[in-house]
Amino acid sequence: MIPRRQFIQAGLAASALWGASGFGSWSRLAAQQRLTQDDLIGPAGTGNLTLIHITDIHAQTQPVWFREPEINLGVGEAAGIPPHLTGAEFRAAFGIEKGSALDYALTYEDFVALGREYGQMGGLDRIATVVKAIRADRPDALLLDGGDTWQGSLPALRTAGQDMVDLFNALGVDAMTAHWEFTLGSDRVREIVETQLAFPFLGANIFDAEWDEPAFEPVAVFERGGTKVAVIGQAFPYLPVANPRWLFPEYSFGIREERLAAVVSEARAGGAEVVVLLSHNGFDVDRKIARNVPGIDVILTGHTHDAIPEPVQVGETFLIASGSHGKFVSRIDLDVRDGRMQGLAHRLIPVFSDVIAPDPEMAALVEATRAPFAEEMAEALGTTESLLYRRGNFNGTWDDVICDALLSQRDAEIALSPGFRWGASVMPGETITREDVFNVTAMSYPAAYRTEMTGEMLKIVLEDVADNLFNPDPYYQQGGDMVRVGGLGYRIDVGAPMGSRISDLVLLSSGEPIDPARAYAVAGWASVNEGTEGPPIWEVVEAHIRSQGTVRAEPRSHVTVTGI
Amino acid sequence: MTHTRREALLVGLGALVATAGIPRLAFAATTEERIAEFTGGAALGEGGITLTAPEIAENGNTVPISVEAPGAVAIMLLAAGNPNPDVGTFRFGPLAASQMASTRIRLAGTQDVIAIAQMADGSFVKTAREVKVTIGGCGG
């Protein structure tokens, strides 16, 4: 049993370097416009084993705008606790000053004004600077990538992830796990893993679908900092449900708690003094794993795109949430003595693109991957008067533009757009480029279909997706946000049981209630069904933006949320 | 030396076919009727039986299920939400090396999969797991 007190002392030692609150210090420095690269990356670490965590970069090699969610509801045991805090509640929980640099980085309020003050975040060349600085202090630090790396941009789509594979090899990653990687198709995944990747591709929960045998390496063991650390990979459990199964039919996933427990035990029996779970489960699933599976010291969480400034402790396990889109890098210093982890210090490093200098080597490599597509990506399609963003449990303004595009270009009454959590924002007044459109649409099953659905079926679809988000047991959630709707209004009671959350469906064009028996013309994209027909969504969105010239998309109120 | 599960399965296939019962009844009885028939109305205990199933089915048409109850002479599997809840009853002879069975079942929708084991002493234990069958999409 590790006394909780020791961990708290370790944490205090780290924050003491910053005075009362590390985060408060950053805020003040930023307010005084004295935020420096050294302030962000921080001083030399404590302990003897250092982990560096990056996750869910979604192929964003460039600095981005990315507005964090305004609505990010937790249900059941996760209600009202991190990561399900936004805005003022988030600031209060972590002592963050309103209007500070960290407020801008971690919450949604005043995003446009604060963005203009603090600038974009991320950029793989800046991340390389952070990684190199940590390795200068701790040369044998382990760099771990939580996945969703090879998808999410035009270059990644066109090269089937090659750009990101080459760049992450150059960054010096030590191990990764996966989710969207598999949407490149299983042949491509195997080709990369077997012939190109310079580090292990881990997934203890990836099995051969026919024979139910492990299909990828479950664990990598490293001797670093005078200790032996086992890194176990856990791929996104619901790949064949949330993404098209036909793209990777040989594989089965799932949470597989018993399997994970067995891999942890084997690692311990093999002499591992520290066990790290490199996870793409999603935060709430990992919180339950931490409670149910003994022997995991640190879970590096992913998938749900949460950035949390402090570790979340569950029993003797520490959960780290490092955000998405390259906005953050986590540094975790572990004190391993007498055969076990005795302390942990953590720093969520915000990658402010205007403060952290680009690493010239990585900048050149990134430039080379973009060069073949530079002209195509830069093409202006229109401008936006409004902030375009996606992240949040319900419609974002970017999704509203996509839904409007589906309604107008596909001549539909109702539009459905998937609740993806990836996709960079565009600031008001900015030109919308083709690259911007691909940043919210680039994926391998983009057909914008048009079909007929009855009102009854529409309700079933909404209920189904709502349960995948709001089931009180996280093991039954899929980690995406609610499906976005255009032309349709509804009320949702998130606390109600499956099948009775959705009510008051209304066709916005007429104001009439949705008739369960009537067929409606519905357009959507990202169907998981094989053989879905239609133009790629980016063509649909591009045509819409060109026809509009200037896009205006203020937040809408066609979804009423209750039961919070 | 290690045998892969694939080899083990191929070796064991004949045995599985011989021991796995096949649902014989063409008409659908209710879950309660099936349980009563199997147990003769005996009380159902807990523990000593492990049912492994995915929380969310990857494909509702073929959901991998496995059940293990050391010391059991028979294990009945039911899909409580199917039009016909019968899945099968596995019977284990005295020479069975382990009282474990795995199969794939079809689930009409989100429902409980139920396993009941008859132990050597004539007692019964029950367990259940909810398996969600979803339309899918939108994850990420």
- As a whole number of Å, the CA-based R_g of chain A is 23
Query: What does the pLDDT read at residue A8?
Result: 37
- Are the Cβ atoms of A468 and B5 closer than 8 angstroms? no
- Are the Cβ atoms of B58 and A245 closer than 8 angstroms? yes
List the structure tokens of A63. 């600095």
- Are the Cβ atoms of A420 and B56 closer than 8 angstroms? no
The answer, yes or no, to whether residue A22 has pLDDT greater than 80, is no
DSSP letter string, B21-64: ------SPPPHHHHHHHHHTT--EE-SS-EEE--SB-S-TTSEE
**Chain B residues lying within 8 Å of A285, measured CB to CB:** none
The answer, yes or no, to whether residue A23 has pLDDT greater than 90, is no
For residues B42 and B23, the answer to whether their CB atoms sit within 8 Å is no
List the structure tokens of A549. 């010239």
Find out whether the peptide bond into B70 is cis, omega within 30 degrees of 0.
Answer: no
- Are the Cβ atoms of A254 and B54 closer than 8 angstroms? yes
Q: Please name the residue that has the structure tokens 């750009």.
A: A163
Amino acid at A314: V
Nearest Cα of chain B lies from the Cα of A211 at a distance, in angstroms, of 6
Q: Which CATH architecture has domain A4-368?
A: 4-Layer Sandwich (3.60)
Instruction: Note the Cα A319 to chain centre separation in Å.
Output: 15
Q: Please name the residue that has the structure tokens 């050597």.
A: B120
Name which of A534, A459, A425, A509 is nearest A116 in CA terms. Answer: A425
Query: What does the pLDDT read at residue B18?
Result: 35
Which class in CATH covers the domain with range A379-562? alpha beta
The answer, yes or no, to whether residue A190 has pLDDT greater than 70, is yes
Query: What does the pLDDT read at residue A45?
Result: 86
For residues A368 and A354, the answer to whether their CB atoms sit within 8 Å is no
Amino acid at A192: I
Q: Please name the residue that has the structure tokens 């490199």.
A: A278
**Chain A residues lying within 8 Å of B111, measured CB to CB:** none
Residues A445 and A433: their CA atoms lie apart, in Å, by 21
Which class in CATH covers the domain with range B5-131? mainly beta
Amino acid at A527: S
For residues A171 and A194, the answer to whether their CB atoms sit within 8 Å is no
Spell out, as residue ranges, where chain B has pLDDT lower than 70: 1-28, 137-140
- In chain A, domain spans: 4-368, 379-562
**pLDDT: which is higher, A426 or B4:** A426
For residues B102 and B65, the answer to whether their CB atoms sit within 8 Å is yes
- Are the Cβ atoms of B138 and A478 closer than 8 angstroms? yes
CA angle A407, A410, A412 (to 5 degrees): 50
Residues B107 and A34: their CA atoms lie apart, in Å, by 61
pLDDT, average across residues A484-490: 97
Name which of A435, A450, A281 is nearest B139 in CA terms. Answer: A281
* DSSP state, residue B132: B
Nearest CA in chain B to A457: B135
Query: What does the pLDDT read at residue B13?
Result: 36
Q: Which of A213, A418, A481 sits opposite B5 (nearest CB)?
A: A213
Count the neighbouring beta carbons within 10 Å of the beta carbon of residue B136. Answer: 25
List the structure tokens of A283. 């935060």
For residues A171 and A219, the answer to whether their CB atoms sit within 8 Å is no
Nearest CA in chain A to B5: A213
CB pairs under 8 A between A and B: 92
The answer, yes or no, to whether residue A191 has pLDDT greater than 60, is yes
Give A428: exposed, middle or buried? Use CB within 10 Å, 0-12, 13-18, 19+: middle
- Are the Cβ atoms of B140 and A258 closer than 8 angstroms? no
- Are the Cβ atoms of A211 and B6 closer than 8 angstroms? yes
Global pTM reads 0.91
A365-393 confidence digits (pLDDT tens):
999 999 999 999 999 999 999 999 999 99
ipTM for the whole complex: 0.85
User: Of all helices (H) and strands (E), which one includes residue A207?
Assistant: strand A207-208
The answer, yes or no, to whether residue A249 has pLDDT greater than 80, is yes
Chain B residues touching chain A at CB-CB below 8 Å:
4-6, 9, 52, 54-59, 64, 102, 110, 130, 132, 134-140
- Are the Cβ atoms of A241 and B6 closer than 8 angstroms? no
* Strand order through the sheet with A519-524: A449-454, A519-524, A414-417, A484-486
Count the neighbouring beta carbons within 10 Å of the beta carbon of residue A33. Answer: 7
Average pLDDT of the residues of chain A: 93
For residues A15 and A21, the answer to whether their CB atoms sit within 8 Å is yes
Residues A334 and A337: their CA atoms lie apart, in Å, by 10
Amino acid at A25: S
Query: What does the pLDDT read at residue B137?
Result: 65
The proportion of chain A whose per-residue pLDDT surpasses 70, expressed as a percent, equals: 94
Nearest CA in chain B to A418: B138
A163-174 confidence digits (pLDDT tens):
999 999 999 999
Query: What does the pLDDT read at residue B125?
Result: 97
List the structure tokens of A492. 């949702």
**Chain B residues lying within 8 Å of A481, measured CB to CB:** 138
A515-556 confidence digits (pLDDT tens):
999 999 999 999 999 999 999 999 999 999 999 999 999 999
HEC profile of A71-90: CCCCCHHHCCCCCCCCHHHH
**Chain B residues lying within 8 Å of A468, measured CB to CB:** 134, 138-139
Q: Which of B64, B110, B139 sits opposite A478 (nearest CB)?
A: B139
Query: What does the pLDDT read at residue B27?
Result: 55
Instruction: Determine which of A52-56, A427-431, B81-85 has the lowest per-residue pLDDT on average.
Output: B81-85
Amino acid at A478: Q
Nearest CA in chain B to A460: B135
For residues A158 and A127, the answer to whether their CB atoms sit within 8 Å is no
List the structure tokens of B140. 């990420």
CA angle A501, A506, A508 (to 5 degrees): 135
- Are the Cβ atoms of A242 and B55 closer than 8 angstroms? no
- Are the Cβ atoms of B140 and A476 closer than 8 angstroms? no
pLDDT, average across residues A172-191: 98
Site from A478, A484, A502, A525 to mutate, B interface, most B CB atoms within 10 angstroms = A478
